[in-house]
Structure 1
Amino acid sequence: MNTDNASSAELSQLLARLSNQVEKLSRNVTKLENEVAALKQRSDEEIPEDVLIAISAAVSAYMGNRGTVRAVHFLRHRSWSQQGRQAVQHKAKWQ
């Protein structure tokens, strides 16, 4: 009977240790899954165009490639034109 009690106590200790290890592993897996989800979200974000241009220019300069400009487009913003009109109209008032 003593051996049965001893083996029963050993089994319960072993079961408790295994249970603790499973809980610890579950927490680690959850933590890693959260990190992977955050990394996936970051990789899905688009890189801004100005950053890509800066990286391209740096790589091109490092490799000694002289780029050529093929096209330039000037865009007029409404705010610039409005400010210009306001300045002209304001001057006309005081003259």
Structure 2
Amino acid sequence: MEQHQLEELVEKLSMRLDTVEAELRELRARSDADIPEDILMAISAAVSAYLGNRGKVKAVRLSRHRTWAAQGRQRVQDHSKLL
């Protein structure tokens, strides 16, 4: 490879790395965020309504995915159960 081609590849990789690092910072900020009390109450009410007052919310965490579609795919792939 020529010197010019190598420089272009290094520049492209640097740009990609910058993008990944920015996304990682955003994901870390999202995962460190506290869930507001009113949101927890709404989640608890929804669970109780869905399960007929038999359910308890034991843990709530923010999703790391940006879109509802990605969250749905994750839910289907992790094979977790509600109860």
Which residue of structure 2 lines up, in the alignment, with residue 41 of structure 1? 29
Partner Cα separation in structure 1 for residue 4 and residue 51 of structure 2: 61
- Structure 1: 4+ residue segments shifted above 4 A: none
Q: How many residues align?
A: 55
Report 1 or 2 for greater relative contact order, CA contacts < 8 Å, sequence distance ≥ 6.
2
Alignment match of 1:56 (pick from 44, 51, 62): 44
What letter matches 1:26 in structure 2?
S
Deviation, 1:26, is: 0.7
Q: Deviations over 1:21-76 (max 9, x none)?
A: 11111111011101111111121111111110101110221122257xxxxxxxxx
Alignment match of 1:23 (pick from 11, 17, 28): 11
What letter matches 1:63 in structure 2?
L
- Structure 1 unaligned blocks of 5 or more: 1-10, 68-95
Instruction: Name the structure where helix makes up a greater proportion of residues.
Output: 1
**What is the SS of the residue equivalent to 1:46?**
coil
- TM (normalized to structure 1)? 0.51
Q: How many percent of aligned residue pairs carry the same amino acid?
A: 55
- TM (normalized to structure 2)? 0.57
